[in-house]
Structure 1
Amino acid sequence: MPGAAPMDSCPGEEGEALTIPPLRLSEKFHLFVSYSSVDATWTHGLISRLEADHMGLRVCLHERDFTPGRNVLENMAECIHQSQKVLLVLSQDFVQSRWCLLEADLSLFGSCLERKPVVPILLRPCRVPLHLSHLTYLEATDSRFYNKLVQLLCTPNHQVASSPRALRPTSPLYSGKPLLTLNCINRDSLPSWRVGTFSTLVVPDPLKEVLEDPEVYRRAVGILNGVQSPRSCLRYVGCRVTLGILLIFLSMGSIIPPLILGLRPNPPAQHLLLIAANIFFCPLLLVLAVSTLCWFRRFSKRKMREVVLRVGEANLLLAGHSVLMGCETLNKLHFVYVLLGDCRRVFLQASDGEALFREALLQFSCSYACCLAHAHFPLCKDVAGARGHQELGLCFCQFVSLQLKRRGGLGVNPV
């Protein structure tokens, strides 16, 4: 805008000069900011930078601009009505605390939000409520985040909806959401007996939303990559079949000598010795032949048990980031987003609760993650009593409780 002070201008994406839209008579603020007190430091730093770079910018913060003595909801509704745009700093703390005020009486200022551009900033991954899932958001981790935000602030309200370059649809997280199915390296060319190796060079995009530290992903997948493939020659089908057939012929051949020798006059003791040897060696060779032919089946079960335990070890790292890993085969992984805080508190009610929770993660987190990935819980029909902590399907403590009951142990009662 001609004549505007340089400090009130901001560069656009293409290098053009933009200005902060002037306030109308009914407006007092360019921006209303809603955030959790946990995120206050980050939010105040952002607002300070915006106000320092653009002195004409007026931002409404509740601690300095709300009218003392008035109801919080009334203050929020009035300030939203007097602001050009609404900025939401999204995090799990915000969803659980700050936004619940808006849910409490949405009718009070729902019409205000419908007429105002709402710009959510995804500060940390969180489970976005359904009434916010239609919005688009800016990522605080984006290297161009600040420039995109300034461009939006400099864009008149009627043009924001038609300027989606800086925004992208949000994929709301919820407890139990499948994030990713990861195949191992060269999965199509791997022989069936080989344990898959998974890449740790980069964190897959769906996991970047929840794993802030790439090292956590590398360490977790590295634990699984430590499972060794077999070195026995029996891993080859040709070797198993050849050896199995040879053992079968040997078992059949062990029957012939007693028959031939039985036609000759021999002492009774020698006849008894031949019969005993035949009774011992013939079944033994048959068992070895069948075992050889079934070697791969036995190996797969034993190796899968090892993989499941390794996945449990990896989940000890991932659970703190609300992620669990599951594995049904030797060359495919499932990653799911799941909140375990409530289930963990159930375990902590028992003595040595923390140790019990870790043991449950080691033993059962792999199969639980697979159930979440497929949205199928075979034991769901066996659940009776209190509702668990998961909206869809079984929560972790319910799942563990049912598994322990099937094994004859004591279950965990979700509350």
Structure 2
Amino acid sequence: MEEHEPQWYEQARKGPFQEPKFTDSSAERVIRRVQQGRPGQDRTGFRFRGLLAAAAVVLVLAGAGALYQNSMPAKEGTSAGITRPVENNPVLTDEALKKNAEQLILEQLGKKLPFEKLVRQGNTGRVQLIYRESIQSEAYVLIWMNEETGEATMFDMSAVYEPGEIDSKLLSEAEEKLRELGYTRDFQATGLTRYAVYGRTANKTVEIQNVVHAEDADINFTNGAYVRAGFDMDQNEVSEELKQAGVQAIRLLRSGGEEALTKILRSTIEGAGDEITLIYGTAAGSPRSVTLDYATHAVLDVSDYSLNVIPSADPKRQAEFDQQLLEMDNAKLQSAAAAIADKLYGIRLEDYMLDKNGPRPGVITFESRGEAPAIEASYNLDGTMYSFSVKRESNTLPY
């Protein structure tokens, strides 16, 4: 999806990477995510952008009974067996380490992936093994091992499955849960992405995420339990009151003109919110959207990226424009933002503390002096505000 659309929708399809290509820099980002936790994970899944801590339920590592039909692994079990049997050598060969890794991959994902490289990490006593199908593929494996024992100390894996490879019970659970959440369309699964992560938690359990995809829906089960979902809705399923709230919010950013409602997305996170996003415009990838609380119709996010005119694609010129954005007068920005935010959220933004985001020129955060949530806003070189977003524990998502 485009940047203005909910992050859960695109990220659930993409997995943990923001680029389609899995490069060395992609691997580094996954390493940081595994070592530090996914950005927003303790708040994550479905913006795409928290993910609730699931029960400590993990995979059965061996035996045909531990596999889904068509070689897809089971979603529950124990973590016993993460330490693989190794050769009786004082120092394991690269081939022995690869053999251990490939056995672990098969047990976690139910399929093999091509080996790419093994990297010894200095004097740490650890090696990193990387597997992937192709440079464009969403399927990848990163495994960190103790080079003396062959024990997997940490891993991050992903695999993609065709509809025929998905367990029929999981498909039934996915459709049943989507219906319960309000999905009314004809459910046809287009595939599944499976993530397996180990070594990030003190109790050393494996976290398994199965994300079932359809053309108009995604639903995530983590360690066998439903976590979050997102799906398209038809216009006749949304009240006129809610539609009008969306139009009014958009018109606070841009006056005049008819707003054509072209797409409606709903995203839910178990125990952490239910949101709906209205997308406007006739062109593909419309830059105008409003996200509201589904139950209360309170506006959460609003954006019109057509107001963010990028004056130059030249990096040197862009750096100059970024500096201009950072140097803009705070008082003027606060006043311009307050003129919109006060009506959007029923607040007094003048009472909030303004913080410019240095790494992201043109983005400012307003922190409440009380317990109200922070509000993030974006502005252009004219000082025009083109997006607002309420900071919440779980924005429309996750990875």
Greater strand content: 2
Rg (Cα) greater in structure: 1
Instruction: Tell me if both proteins adopt one fold, taking TM over 0.5 as the criterion.
Output: no
Greater relative contact order, per chain length (Cα 8 Å cut-off, separation 6+)? 2
Greater helix content: 1
